[in-house]
Amino acid sequence: MKQLPAAHILQTWDWGEFKRRTVGWQPTRLAFERDGIPVALASVGTRSMGPFKVLYVSKGPALDYENESVFLEVLDALESRARGMGAVWLKIDPDVVLATGIPGGKGEKNTALGRRICTQLKDRGWRYSDAQVQFRNTIKFDLGQTDDELLMAMSGNTRRKIRGAKKKGVTVRAADDDDLAILYDLYRITAARDSFLIRRYDYYKRAWQAFMRAGLAHALIAEYAGEPIAHVILFHIGRTCWYFYGASGDRERQRMPNYLLQWEAIKWAKAKGYAIYDMWGAPDVFDESDSLWGVYQFKRGFRGQVVRHIGAWDFAPRPWLYAAYSKLAPRIMGLLRN
C-alpha cells in the first residue's frame, strides 16, 4: 500500500478494520497487479441501509492516475461490483489534484490530470457528489525545504507566536498509550468551545491507540508547568503525514501552544522522511461564510500551498433509486466521516 502513488491512510487495511469494528462498514480489499507487481488498490467499504447497500472508497482508489489504462481497469472493476451488488451508489474520492491556489487568486494553477479524470468520470456516467465526505481542499507543505526555508516562508506573526510559545514556557513531548484519556479530554473541551460534535471516548481510543501501535499515527502534547494544554495527532503513510486531530484546553491559551505544536509536527514529519505535510482541511468557499474560515486563518499563517482536489464522485447503477435515496443523504453523512 505505502509504495503506491496516491497512497492514503484512509485506504489502509488498518482503517478498514477500524471502521468495521466501530461503525459497521464492511471492508473489501481489491488489489490489481501487472506482471505480479501491485499497481492499484481499492479498499471498498460496504454498508447496508435497510434493504439497500452503499459502497465507499474513502480517499481512493490508490494508483498512479497518470496511468490511464490502470485507472480505467479499476473503474471497470468497481462499477461491475456496484452493479452486481445492486448498490444504490458507489462513491470514490480520489486524491487527485484539480488545482492549486485560491480560486481566482494570484498563482492559481489548474492541472491537466485533474481535468482529464473529471472528464473521464463524467463520460462514464459518474456525477460529482452533492454529499462530499472528506475535505476536498487542504493545505500542503513541501518538506524538501530546510527548516529555515519553512520558517521564513511563514507569516511574521506565525513565526513570532512559535517563538513566543517557547519563551512563555511551553514544551512539547510525544504522547503514548497512557495519554489517551488526556488527548480525549482536550478534544472534548475543544468541541464544546467550538460547537462541533464528537464521538464517545471509546471510538477515539480505539483509533488513536491502534494506529499509534501500528506505527501509523503519532501524537504530540504541549505542556506548561507540567500541565497538558494542547495536542496534535498525526497520521502518516507513504509520502505524506496528515494533521488529523488538534485540540487545546481552556487554560493557558494565551501562550499560543498550537503554533509551537504545528511547527514541532512539521519538523517531526520532515525528520521521519515524509515528503508532504498535509494540514487536512481548507474551506470550500474562501471567504468568511465558510465554516472552516477561522481554522483556515490559523493554517494560512504557516504559508503552505492551497491544494484543491477533484472531490467525491458517485456511480449509480440505478439512477432513479439514487435520486430518491439522495434525499436521505444528510442523515447518513455522520456514518461516513472519519
Say if residue 331's pLDDT is above 80.
no
* Weakest mean pLDDT among 114-123, 310-319, 322-331: 322-331
DSSP assignment string, 238-262: TTEEEEEEEEE-SSSGGG-HHHHHH
pLDDT at site 6: 80
Residues 6+ apart with CB under 8 A from 120: 71, 72, 75
In 3D, which of 87, 79, 64 has the Cα closest to residue 123?
79
Cell numbers given for 134: 472528506
pLDDT at site 199: 95
Say if residue 159's pLDDT is above 60.
yes
Domains contained in the chain, CATH given? 9-135+311-336 (3.40.630.30), 140-306 (3.40.630.30)
Which has more confidence, 32 or 328? Answer: 32
Say if residue 335's pLDDT is above 80.
no
C-alpha to C-alpha distances, 80 to 60, 84, 234, 316, nearest whole angstrom: 17, 6, 35, 11
pLDDT at site 98: 97
Kindly indicate the confidence band of residue 338, based on its pLDDT and cuts at 50, 70 and 90. low
pLDDT at site 329: 55
Cell numbers given for 25: 462498514
pLDDT tens per residue across span 62-110: 999 999 999 999 999 999 999 999 999 999 999 999 999 999 888 899 9
pLDDT tens per residue across span 261-319: 999 999 999 999 999 999 999 999 999 999 999 999 999 999 999 999 999 999 999 99
Cβ burial 3-26 (10 Å sphere, 16+ → b, else e): ebbbbbbbbbebbbebbeeeeebe
pLDDT tens per residue across span 165-220: 999 999 999 999 999 999 999 999 999 999 999 999 999 999 999 999 999 999 99
Which has more confidence, 9 or 49? Answer: 9
pTM: 0.93
Q: Reduced to 3 states, what is the DSSP secondary structure of residue 142?
A: strand
pLDDT at site 1: 60
Compute the average pLDDT of residues 128-151. 96
Mean pLDDT, the chain, rounded, equals: 94
